[in-house]
Amino acid sequence: MVRRGGEKYGFYRGKFLLDAPAGCDVIACSALSDADCFNSIIDRYAAAFLPADRRAIVSLWTLYYFSILTINTALAWLELRRYLPVSLDEVSVCLDRETATPVSFLLPNLGEVREFDIHTAMKPLLRQHIEPLTCAISDHANLSTKLLWGNAAGYLDWIIDEAGRQSAPALAEEGAPLFSDATFPDGERNPLCGTLRNMQDGSGLQFKRRKVCCLRYCLADIGGCGLSCPLRQGRR
């Protein structure tokens, strides 16, 4: 990716790996569906934020997780037409050994170059990874699936727009149905649709605002999301 796009995509480096990195614990993503496994990870991660609301801590952890997963999967498709094996039962997450923060993902292989529509290309990401994982985390942490889908949506929407700005507007147009289509091709409801709203402030600045707050403003030293937060207290 960096060879193709230069340092404009430098953030891609080291996020999807074929070999386990040093200094990380590698956990099969499918294991996160187990409450004991998931909660043991969050217990380690939470140490830096206690006594904050555990729901906010879980939400912040998923923001790191989904940012790496969505940005790198979508960009590999949009720029390289590489269809990656990122289903929940195919990949592992690499966690910082000290903090349990997600830092990268371990893939079984580099997938294959294909030609699909955007919904088919993103099916392993959305339907076979994020969908079952959000249901599991919702049960583990008493968080709504709408909040968790919103956490994934913000980063996925950003990288689609970024590919359009950095490379070609056609890439952003290609990715747009992920958010504009109310249903997936099989007729199932699309949880991404409606997660973000186009807004404009008094000065004419255009931005997108989440429908459901991610709760990060509840964490000391983290702060809110600015204009993108639906709650006034989260915009500080």
Q: Give residue-wise pLDDT tens across range 76-101.
A: 999 999 999 999 999 999 999 999 99
CATH number for the domain formed by residue range(s) 2-235: 1.10.510
Query: If you search the block for the tokens 């109310």, which residue do you land on?
Result: 182
* pLDDT (0 to 100) of residue 5: 67
124-133 residue pLDDT tens: 999 999 999 9
What's the chain's average pLDDT?
93
**Domain ranges (residues) in the chain:** 2-235
Q: Is 170 helix (H, G, I), strand (E, B) or coil?
A: helix
pLDDT tens column, 131-181: 999 999 999 999 999 999 999 999 999 999 999 998 999 999 999 999 999
Q: Is there a cis peptide before residue 132, judged by omega within 30 degrees of 0?
A: no
Residue 16, pLDDT score: 96
Whether the CB-CB separation of 172 and 159 falls below 8 Å is answered with no
